[in-house]
Amino acid sequence: MVNILYPDHINELTNYVQSIDSNVNEFSGSLDIEDGNLITQNITILHSRSIAEDVTISDQDDSNLFTGILNVDNGKIIESVDIQGNH
C-alpha cells in the first residue's frame, strides 16, 4: 500500500513501480475497514505493480467481510486478512 492519489499522481506511481526515483512513500498507519471496504481515503493499493480496484477485505479465519482497523507498517498489513480485487 502506498499513500498517493490516483490519477493525480500517475507519473509518480509509474516511476515507483519501475523502481525509478519518486515521491511515493509506503504507507504506515491504520486503515478503517467497514463490511470489507476500505473507508480510509487517499490510499492507492498496488498488487503486482498494478493498481488494485474493487478491493474487498475478509477475515482469514472465516471468510466474513472484515470490519475494523487494519494496521500497516511500511506497506505491509500486520493483521491476517484476505484481500481480493481486480488489477
Number of domain units in the chain: 1
Q: Are 64 and 81 in contact (CB under 8 A)?
A: no
Residue 3 domain flag? no
Global pTM reads 0.76
4 occurs within a structural domain:
no
Task: Find, among 41, 24, 21, the residue nearest to 33 by Cα.
Answer: 41
Range of the domain at 51: 10-86
Asked if residue 44 is part of any domain, the answer here is yes
For residue 1, tell me if it sits in a domain.
no
84 is written with which cell numbers?
Answer: 481480493
Residue 2 lies in a domain: no
pLDDT tens, per residue, the chain with 87 residues: 555 555 667 888 888 888 898 888 889 999 999 999 999 888 888 888 888 889 999 999 888 999 999 999 999 999 999 999 886
